[in-house]
Amino acid sequence: MSDYIKEKNKITITNLEHFNIEHILECGQVFLFEKCENYYEVVSGNEYARIFTYPEKVEILCTNEDYFENYFDLKTDYSKIKQNLSTHLLLKQAIEYGYGMRILKQGKLETIIGFIISANNNINRIKNSMKKLREQFGTKTVSKLGEYYAFPTLDQLSVVSTEQFVSLGTGYRAPHLVKAIEQLKQFDLEQLSVLETANLKNKLIKLQGIGSKVADCILLFSYYRTDVVPVDTWVEKVYNKYFSQNNQIKNREIIREEFFNIFTKLSGYAQQYLFYYERQFGKFNKNDKIG
């Protein structure tokens, strides 16, 4: 377990080795956050947190300390995960770069909506759309930390029209969102977590706008299936650059299987370190193959 102290509306993390809020939030797994002058702001469901980083500690001031203990997955010990993955040279580098990254346990609904919007999109635009969605349709909430807009509930989302989704900048995904929200009324997202991963993925894929890759993101980032490997353009680049022997593989299902064969139960973590690393340094060293 990580070293942390939980108090009313506050979590203090004393070991910064496995908790770096910039790497956690900026690594591409979450869209409902914002960098402010001296802290990061996070919304999940109707909960809210501000994360302050000091030289010797991190303080999470929040509406609900139990919620964010789970959200940041503080009970999981990352030293063994990092140690295990670091036997691979490329992973060792990626982990050194993204130190303190953690896979989050995000709210199901916000993760589904966020990753439907993510299709063929970029992270800044996704974040903007999600922020507008929150501010226009979420409940304005007053807390001791200040005012914030919660992420809309399913009921609140179900009144959003296609045109309104377009105005949030979601483009051609707008009708998919409206349809998926309608379909979600027949889903019990919490109850689905009892399903085995393959069955759960089959359920998610039935929703409009969710294909294999988006389903994998939902599995990894909100259902905590940390063996799942979402393969997007960046992970595809990583595979063809460092793992493929000679031929370039375009079939993402094959790439997914190959990564799983290498990293097995830790594939989700490995994928996330590599994604973050490649987005940062991908422009360099096209011929820098490893293993």
Candidate ranges 72-80, 82-90, 136-144, 226-234; the one touching DNA (CB under 7 A): 226-234
Size of the site for DNA (CB under 7 A): 40
Smallest gap from Cβ 45 to DNA, in A, equals 20
Q: Going residue by residue from 104 to 143, which x/- string records binding to DNA, judged by CB under 7 A? A: -----------x--xxxxxxxxx-----------------
Q: Which is nearer to DNA, 46 or 272 (CB)?
A: 272
Residue list 248-267, contact with DNA (CB under 7 A): 251
What is the Cα–Cα distance from 12 to 176, expressed in whole angstroms?
Answer: 41
What is the Cα–Cα distance from 249 to 101, expressed in whole angstroms?
Answer: 28
Indicate which single residue of 2, 18, 19, 28 sits in contact with DNA (rule: CB under 7 A). Answer: 28
Smallest gap from Cβ 205 to DNA, in A, equals 7
User: For residues 47-86, b (16+ Cβ closer than 10 Å) or e, as one string?
Assistant: bbbbbebeeebbbbbbbbbebbbebbbbebebeebbebbe
Amino acid in the structure at residue 201: K
Smallest gap from Cβ 271 to DNA, in A, equals 6
Whether 108 contacts 223, CB under 8 Å: yes
Indicate which single residue of 230, 256, 259, 267 sits in contact with DNA (rule: CB under 7 A). Answer: 230
What is the Cα–Cα distance from 10 to 128, expressed in whole angstroms?
Answer: 28
Q: What is the DSSP string of 21-55?
A: HHHHHHTSS--SEEE-SSSEEEEETTEEEEEEE-S
Q: Which residues bind DNA (CB under 7 A)?
A: 27-29, 115, 118-126, 166, 169, 171-172, 176, 207-215, 217, 230-235, 237, 251, 271-272, 275, 279
